[in-house]
Structure 1
């Protein structure tokens, strides 16, 4: 495994001068790009004031339903913080005419992209369903708009209060998790609607009574305070009678008036410092600025892009690349309806004095205020924004798709076409106008916050869930303690026949040098997404150089022999292209996304990145520093610590997959990596004989092939190729608990795993379907138990990781600290019961098969989803038309077949458990579980994993 490194050492040099390159293809004019962003719609309003938007898109037999209410945390009075978000959760727990969990009938209907979110300004719910399930969803959405309160019992309130409080703990438990409170409290005065976070305070959530939440609903959730957007296989002639039928009888509610929310100015600069269990000092600069309804908002977007949003930004160039006082820096303009927050964030480079870093940051901001952006920067920002909007509009639903875009424009700005106005304002921006607006708002006093490494300070939100419900003085009741009001609207509409999907036709060809190109046409939007996949991955890392592959890939797009890092970033921005690199267990990838009008130029850039990385010494040192900072960050987060501890326990130390314990890399190896190592790795692994190209585009195959042939057709491999180590049979792990002590954690992260006997290339459909019942998805046994029934977690998941040479089963369960031991006991009970005496029930089987077959209609709506499916089919040796036949395979399954598959794959007694939490709080809970417990200090956990 060392031979290719020796070859690379002989080839390396200290630096490579930039070579002459042909002129880049001219990018499409911004005006032409803007024309491609269009969501035609029709609108009507019901007599009760409900506004309806309809967009027709026949590319798939699905309809996105997006319901937006003009209510958010800014409407909450003192003592009622968190109510809007709490009610978002309550609205998922059944209605008078559709009792039970909202996700249950959605799952059986084949819904995709379904969720709800809350912000300062609004609450929204969205789902994409097969056209045949539209009646069901409109019934359900109208029922929670007009027939909800009879189903909101004290038990439901107690249950969801616990879920929300664990969501809050989960956010608080992250490094820098307290910044979300400090930022708004520091910028907005007490009493200002934006002064408190959307998640609310633990005390106010604990104090919420049943009467309080019902009054809240009656005040804000009337049809006259809502917008419903329908997008997809629908038109106005069909939509109007359906909306009248389901929503027309709901009476209007009170008129909602937005609270007074002026843009505040601090009387003087404010600077605060807090300590936290973080690896890197992080500096923040915040200003309160106008919201999106103000004309200055778009210009501030441009200002943020040039200052710290683009890869070529001023702050990145000056502080990260030149002065090297930061490992990362960013700027953004976060626009709410009435106000906004302009923020700058900087991670200080290890070894840099904080005062020096702060002075450099403040000077760079001042210099930008003095000069403003250039015309080229403004144009690149507009192009990048348009390309991003195009990517979002591939979906009819979800958070940022067509339905949500129209609804948000109407709710926030009174105009469904607001997205067009935004893009037009970006395109029309001038450097002088941006400079003037930036100076106007950022010359005001700043709120500065620094988070420095140390013990996290005590804070008010660390309290636990209440022992009693206010006004009730009784223990929290289970959700079914009292029945909801009886429905009056009849049964839930049935789902009609959903036709099986036709996956896009996949074609295969080869470039001039033999690289296989796998292509599918997706003509809905003028975008191209492609990836060059290499047979490499983390398992290809030499055992003494863990992280070398990831470091190599991170440097690939940081300059080539014809373009330095800044020129490469600017070239992408001019095209609206995004070139990315990634490295997982078995594959290394270089991807590209671009508006198809700039296809040729984007693929040419991709070719330059893949074939001609410069590995410039200055860039190596910069990226090395960023990588080491990322590794250090992994050792302070619960997820990072568990991800590093679990692999050697599950795979055995002799397995190549134990290398996954290094995470981003072994810090000693990353520090020692030389330019010769990087060149050698690239030549051994990132080469044409290990490459395959996957493309989804609206452009025909000959045009796509020509673009890739021009960039890669003459590429030839040189020198010996790397060889992956063999994957031996996994060792049987000894069941035990490894407790990683992370003091002051309000939550514990439970991770568990075992290596299964499954073959990744075999037909795993039965066992994967069985796990839909046990661990995958919202309605799984383990999630419904720990989240919904017990209220101990915000979400629990268990599933198979299907790698080329191994298929482990892993569980991830963040739980409140005082329930760590009971949560593991509950997980063991659920898994053991499922695998012995409590297999798949008829209700679970029908719901799962219906859901899996029906949701196919919306699964492959975007180029990204099609591309992933093509890669997955290829990796596991499945035919290209696999998804054309999968519905029939689902229908042929039986419940006993699912039970048998699960029992062959998972042994309930072979799990190894990792707990990341406060040992002082949880150790005693673990000792009673009957498993050996090993306690590891959090700082020693990565070293222990590396040693293993």
Structure 2
């Protein structure tokens, strides 16, 4: 996870959208109030905390937030892939996996107590400089998880076996294959291996090399734990329903007896400089040529990182960025362009990229890209650009801090500050420094670092000449590494953190006898759980009949608004698939009064995030606003929805972008499988028988006109089909006048509103395999499904609960078999879809190529046994029901989660107290009830299997399964 200033997090571009040129009942949006000053937004970012340390060196941070009965636990270790010596790449990440496989006093999988207790937002991640483990748990389960976190910090090695190591090694290698298999999946290797010399801590990827993972011994991984996982190399954050006194007592109890480990030696990681420009071209399964420009730049230990990050936002991170304005909308030579400054503790990369528009000369586009970089470096940003970038950044941070934990909430923000800067409150200094930036400071940093020799990478469409197997380690297929200067390490020199065999630090002292610490023989009991307090739902109706559904959440000064229309993919004309997606993209091009650049600037000045999504049954437009700027943000949202420009001048550019997006789907394994599966299940004439991305048919996209898009907008995006949902730091009384001003005057267009026809016949199901050839794929993407007899408005809770056991969770039968037992995949999942009419059951399983056939056979056997005589077991019933009830308070911690709950209550015609009833209902389920729900709904003999992979290698495996195997083409290809 990267810091909140990353341009990837700041590119709050409006998602797919749509327009219409000649629209009835358009209005001029009310004048927007002036945005709140940046200084006021920065002041709103505050996480009060208290800090203490244990004698063993563990640093602890405590933040009190009583909005929900949950506590976020976040443990950060100061060890990442930069600490790995030669021959040991991938160890930090491999060890992260091992840390989830039990400890000496918790022999089972770590996910079992997590799900039993109703934990949310739980995971572990590894990056170059740190490894973290986090979970948000009910307050009454805090002791249980402090015991578990402390147990794997101090009592892990006795539980690490050769069998566990072998299994997790296979899982990690499949994770590597899964990443490598994606379009542009090899770019990170090229970036690191060419910018940093061999031996530099950032030269190799965190995932590591296949050879090093194969060579990891049990002694190796145990030494890695001893060297790096002591409490004196860790930060523990507790954020949520807790106070300092309670935290001190509990942390001392569970962590106090763990002795300090060896002092982790500092790593030298100077910023390298290429001696001369380097250019390289590779081929990949990509839709269009992508051009990169890359430089190694300073990390968090150098103040230049901040102006470089803001410079990247201005260049390519804003919706009104230099690259979008000039290359995409202006010269129209690229279908997309962006920039990002990815910052590590001691170095980082400034990366600029552009996707060449089909038909354009790549060299000319590269020259245009270089010209925009040079212009910003030479002239620096304007004061307005700098202000907008800073406002977007502050607003984004405010929204993320509503969550106490997870990937970007309060706990990780505090932990990152302490780990990287020695100051948990560093985020406030960073925001203050950002607000104080001047164009001159940004220009100076850009001139210092971006006038050095560049690494220019070009990725062209074509067949890969190599995969990722040879990449990720110390001595990969580099062409420049040994000639790079400034890194401090040649190929023969050892970096400061190198350990020769036999010279590893002494083992950590043994933990004192159990009598001196708490009883660890059993997991601490879970106390009395607080009941779910779902916010009160209030309703209103605007003067034009538009319904408003409201819930108040005042933890942070943000408001989320969703305007949902009864449309969605199912409304797309059967003879013109992709109309809605084109409309939504065209809506990004501005309104009748604001062109695309002016609209983006207005949104950025307000710190508002406006996005849209076409779902199967609804088309939704969402606004995430900071409360002080709500009125202006709503006015902008209304203008965006009601008055799209739909200019003919924009259409050809958007058409090229849409065709490029479809082409990209036709090369992505998951999208390819979806494009085959859904028409096969529902039939091509059913409204649900379309690829779930909704991007449509290339032939249709090529012929759509502004009039076509305007007609769809007028027919489907009208007041009578709209519901407005509002959640956040306001009241219904306060927000209704704002909504009335923005949407109340919107008149219903002439003519009857259209109605979706979901009565098209669904093809009879029979078990078969549809094989899509994707040569040289290191993995096979398996996707299977069947249409069920139920609709989304039926009571599907028993079936979905049963599926948690079969394939819907980490602990499910399918995942535990293929991932944890066999090691053939990074993960398998299954789900019952959320659609208003007929739903499907779907399985997704990316597996290693040589186990494609056996994987399908294993899933067939697991599913067959579950549905026949090996149904829900007692322990599975516990975590699938009790755990589901316990996680509800954490599941509705944020405004966005409450908003999603409101939408589903209305969409699926549920009672207002649905989630409160659910909390009571889950524990009443019995295993026979869940078994009956699954056996009545699911039929393995009706599954259609789609496999995308290297046909030459996998068809012989599939032929052994006894099912018909048909070679399929991907619609649109």
Shorter-chain TM range is over 0.9
- Other-structure match for 2:431: 423
Separation in 2, partners of 1:897, 1:815: 32
TM-score (norm 1): 0.94
Separation in 2, partners of 1:661, 1:801: 11
- Pair 1:576 & 2:584 matched: no
Tell me if the contact between 1:537 and 1:585 (Cα under 8 Å) persists in the aligned partners. Answer: yes
- Other-structure match for 2:420: 412
Separation in 1, partners of 2:574, 2:692: 12
Cα distance, 1:802–1:101 mapped onto 2, change above 3 Å: same
Tell me if the contact between 2:603 and 2:633 (Cα under 8 Å) persists in the aligned partners. Answer: yes
Tell me if the contact between 1:585 and 1:660 (Cα under 8 Å) persists in the aligned partners. Answer: no
Separation in 2, partners of 1:398, 1:800: 25
Q: SS at the partner of 1:158?
A: helix
- Other-structure match for 1:204: 212
- Other-structure match for 2:377: 369
Cα distance, 1:12–1:128 mapped onto 2, change above 3 Å: closer
- Other-structure match for 1:907: 939
Work out the number of aligned pairs and report it.
Answer: 911
Aligned residue runs from structure 1 range 514-529, under 5 A: 514-529=545-560
- Pair 1:124 & 2:132 matched: yes
Separation in 1, partners of 2:652, 2:624: 28
Shift of 1:404: 0.8
Separation in 1, partners of 2:933, 2:724: 34
Separation in 2, partners of 1:727, 1:81: 56
- Other-structure match for 2:491: none
Separation in 2, partners of 1:158, 1:685: 55
Aligned residue runs from structure 1 range 28-427, under 5 A: 28-427=36-435
- Other-structure match for 1:637: 668
Cα distance, 1:222–1:545 mapped onto 2, change above 3 Å: same
- Pair 1:847 & 2:882 matched: no
- Other-structure match for 1:724: 756
Tell me if the contact between 1:133 and 1:495 (Cα under 8 Å) persists in the aligned partners. Answer: yes
- Other-structure match for 2:537: 506
Residues 457-482 of structure 1: per-residue CA shift (max 9 Å, x gap): 12460799xxxxxxxxxxxxxxxxxx
Q: SS at the partner of 2:543?
A: coil
Shift of 1:891: 2.0
Aligned residue runs from structure 1 range 483-562, under 5 A: 489-562=520-593
Shift of 1:653: 3.0
Shift of 1:449: 0.4
Separation in 2, partners of 1:26, 1:307: 25
Residues 715-744 of structure 1: per-residue CA shift (max 9 Å, x gap): 011122222123345332221101100000
Tell me if the contact between 2:89 and 2:206 (Cα under 8 Å) persists in the aligned partners. Answer: yes
Unaligned runs of 5+ in 2: 1-17, 473-512
| Cα RMSD (Å) | 1.9
Worse overlay, 648-657 or 872-881: 648-657
- Pair 1:790 & 2:798 matched: no
Q: SS at the partner of 2:960?
A: helix
Worse overlay, 616-625 or 163-172: 616-625
Cα distance, 1:72–1:823 mapped onto 2, change above 3 Å: same
Q: SS at the partner of 2:791?
A: coil
- Pair 1:751 & 2:783 matched: yes
- Other-structure match for 1:447: 455
Tell me if the contact between 1:500 and 1:857 (Cα under 8 Å) persists in the aligned partners. Answer: yes
- Other-structure match for 2:907: 875
Cα distance, 1:330–1:349 mapped onto 2, change above 3 Å: same
TM-score (norm 2): 0.92
Shift of 1:702: 1.2
- Other-structure match for 2:653: 622
Residues 165-217 of structure 1: per-residue CA shift (max 9 Å, x gap): 00000000001100110000111011100000000000000000000010011
Separation in 2, partners of 1:350, 1:729: 39
Separation in 2, partners of 1:23, 1:489: 64
Tell me if the contact between 1:684 and 1:719 (Cα under 8 Å) persists in the aligned partners. Answer: no
Tell me if the contact between 2:240 and 2:404 (Cα under 8 Å) persists in the aligned partners. Answer: yes
Q: SS at the partner of 1:218?
A: helix
Q: SS at the partner of 2:838?
A: coil
Separation in 1, partners of 2:365, 2:667: 22
- Other-structure match for 1:892: 924
Q: SS at the partner of 1:388?
A: helix
- Other-structure match for 1:762: 794
Shift of 1:293: 2.4
Separation in 2, partners of 1:450, 1:165: 27
Q: SS at the partner of 2:789?
A: coil
Tell me if the contact between 1:337 and 1:413 (Cα under 8 Å) persists in the aligned partners. Answer: no
Shift of 1:502: 1.3
Separation in 1, partners of 2:331, 2:85: 46
Worse overlay, 282-291 or 723-732: 723-732
Shift of 1:488: 7.8
Cα distance, 1:729–1:596 mapped onto 2, change above 3 Å: same
- Other-structure match for 2:732: 701
Aligned residue runs from structure 1 range 582-601, under 5 A: 582-601=613-632
Separation in 2, partners of 1:595, 1:802: 30
Unaligned runs of 5+ in 1: 1-7, 465-484
Worse overlay, 343-352 or 119-128: 343-352
- Other-structure match for 1:941: 970
Worse overlay, 718-727 or 307-316: 718-727
Shift of 1:595: 0.4
Q: SS at the partner of 1:942?
A: coil
- Pair 1:692 & 2:718 matched: no
Residues 650-691 of structure 1: per-residue CA shift (max 9 Å, x gap): 112332211337741111101100000011110000111110
Worse overlay, 177-186 or 886-895: 886-895
Separation in 2, partners of 1:376, 1:609: 22
- Other-structure match for 1:605: 636
Separation in 2, partners of 1:887, 1:542: 40
Separation in 1, partners of 2:135, 2:27: 51
Separation in 1, partners of 2:572, 2:770: 26
Separation in 1, partners of 2:287, 2:879: 45
Worse overlay, 727-736 or 335-344: 727-736
Separation in 1, partners of 2:27, 2:379: 32
Q: SS at the partner of 1:533?
A: strand
Shift of 1:418: 1.3
Tell me if the contact between 2:111 and 2:811 (Cα under 8 Å) persists in the aligned partners. Answer: yes
Residues 550-578 of structure 1: per-residue CA shift (max 9 Å, x gap): 11122223210111110000000000001
Tell me if the contact between 1:631 and 1:663 (Cα under 8 Å) persists in the aligned partners. Answer: no
- Other-structure match for 1:774: 806
Separation in 2, partners of 1:774, 1:696: 34
Tell me if the contact between 2:584 and 2:612 (Cα under 8 Å) persists in the aligned partners. Answer: yes
Separation in 2, partners of 1:273, 1:931: 42
Separation in 2, partners of 1:942, 1:653: 10
- Other-structure match for 2:496: none
Ranked by relative contact order (alpha carbons within 8 Å, sequence separation 6 or more), the top structure is 2
